[in-house]
Amino acid sequence: MTTTTFSNRRTSPFRYDVVGSFLRPRALKRARAQFAAGTLDAAGLKAVEDAEIIKLIAQQEQAGLKAVTDGEFRRSWWHLDFFWGLQGIEKKTLTKGYLFHGEETRAESAYVSGKISGANHPFVAAFKFVRDHVQAGIQVKQTVPAPAQCLAELQRPENEAALRQVYPTDAAVVADLAAAYHQVFLDLYAAGARTIQLDDCTWGMLAGNQTKGAETGTVSARNDAVLDRNKQLYLQVNNAALADLPADLVVNTHVCRGNYHSTWASAGGYESVADPLFNQENVRAYYLEYDSDRAGGFEPLRLVSDDKLVVLGLVTSKNGELEDRQTVIDRIYEAAKYVPLDRLCLSTQCGFASTEEGNVLTAEQQWAKIALVKSIAEEVWGR
């Protein structure tokens, strides 16, 4: 057993963690269906959400998690609900959803209807509810889709025309979007938040597109130029939103390749995005998908800045089969060839329900996964 100077770390990320979303309980699914059908009002839905979130908080505390979330129980999507909560962004119904491996999602998106602002975002009230129901000493982790993720959504072909009516240039939308996020971060901080996690699929999608191009022989100078432009744009908007935040506000990021009903959207290692993601994005830690060969090897971790930590997502949330314990431990030590063991942590690869549909596993399997992550972390790093 190895005990390190960070074994008793009091700020996120902790040695063992989860990404944040949990399978929706039956009562919540029923209430949301009734609300959609018009047989339950907003107050009735909130009452069910409140009750189920309180139960979930207790379950997370009993499982030994040191930072808990609301399971994203008030959301339908991990990202769109936040976008819809920004001033100047509206919900949109499309004819086609996101295309995942073997499955298509519900066809919803977000478009710009006016100047973007972060005033009075509903996620702040959602945070306060969790804050008021945790035990002493337990942190609340607020998960938020990254500014880059919002920018990518607004730039989808279906939304581009609406975006350009309000923001003719990328520079203009980046400025307002970053300022809106910054306002939400400050409002969350004022409410007591000290840990925010930016969920960000943009880097995984960029890596996947580059890998696909290499496999099909379609990578060209133009493709490389587009990749470099997008990398810089995503880095710019994320870092602008993070600039000048309070020193004791920890902001981490989670990078994956899509998570919808146990399917995925992209495949490709981190090499093509590691620079600037791992050495220029101003976050404290990276929660990285590493549960399958779709994420590639650990070699890109050599580019992680010396002052940052890496949370290895080695335990999948996409199915209920428990990983082989020794295999996970061996992979942690393999990753330690590129980032010192002292700066590594362990988590599930993604949330258990990035959308309300949830992944294909049971609640019992979900908690067994978390128990495995905790047990392995305690063996590797000490209690």
pLDDT digits (tens, 9 = 90+) for 146-196: 999 999 999 999 999 999 999 999 999 999 999 999 999 999 999 999 999
Specify the pLDDT at position 158: 95
Candidates 74, 71, 40, 44; CA nearest to 55 is 71
What is the arithmetic mean of pLDDT over 254-269? 88
pLDDT one-digit tens code per residue, 346-368: 999 999 999 999 999 999 999 99
How many C-beta atoms lie closer than 10 Å to residue 183's C-beta?
A: 18
What is the arithmetic mean of pLDDT over 92-117? 91
Q: Of residues 225 and 255, which shows the higher confidence score? A: 255
pLDDT one-digit tens code per residue, 137-148: 999 999 999 999
**Of the candidate ranges 210-224, 257-271, 319-333, the one whose mean pLDDT is the lowest:** 210-224
Give percent of the chain with pLDDT exceeding 90. Answer: 85
What distance in Å separates the CA atoms of residue 176 and residue 161, rounded to the nearest whole number? 18
- HSE, CB side, 13 Å, CA atoms: give it for residue 25: 15
Strand pairing report for 99-100 and 103-104: antiparallel
Domain residue limits, the chain: 16-381
Specify the pLDDT at position 349: 96
Question: Over 90: is that where the pLDDT of 136 sits?
Answer: yes
Q: What is the residue whose two structure tokens read 């305690």?
A: 378
Specify the pLDDT at position 214: 42
DSSP strand E in the chain: where?
Answer: 16-17, 67-68, 87-93, 99-100, 103-104, 108-117, 139-145, 195-200, 250-255, 285-289, 309-315, 344-348
What distance in Å separates the CA atoms of residue 273 and residue 300, rounded to the nearest whole number? 9
202, 265 Cβ separation under 8 angstroms: no
pLDDT one-digit tens code per residue, 29-82: 999 999 999 999 999 999 999 999 999 999 999 999 999 999 999 999 999 999
CA distances 258 to 21, 76, 79, 105, Å, are: 14, 15, 12, 11
Please provide the CATH number assigned to the domain covering 16-381.
3.20.20.210
- Phi/psi for 286 (5° steps) reads -115, 120
Task: Show Cβ contacts of residue 199 under 8 Å, excluding neighbours closer than 6 positions.
Answer: 19, 20, 78, 79, 143, 144, 145, 146, 149, 253, 254, 256
Strand pairing report for 195-200 and 139-145: parallel
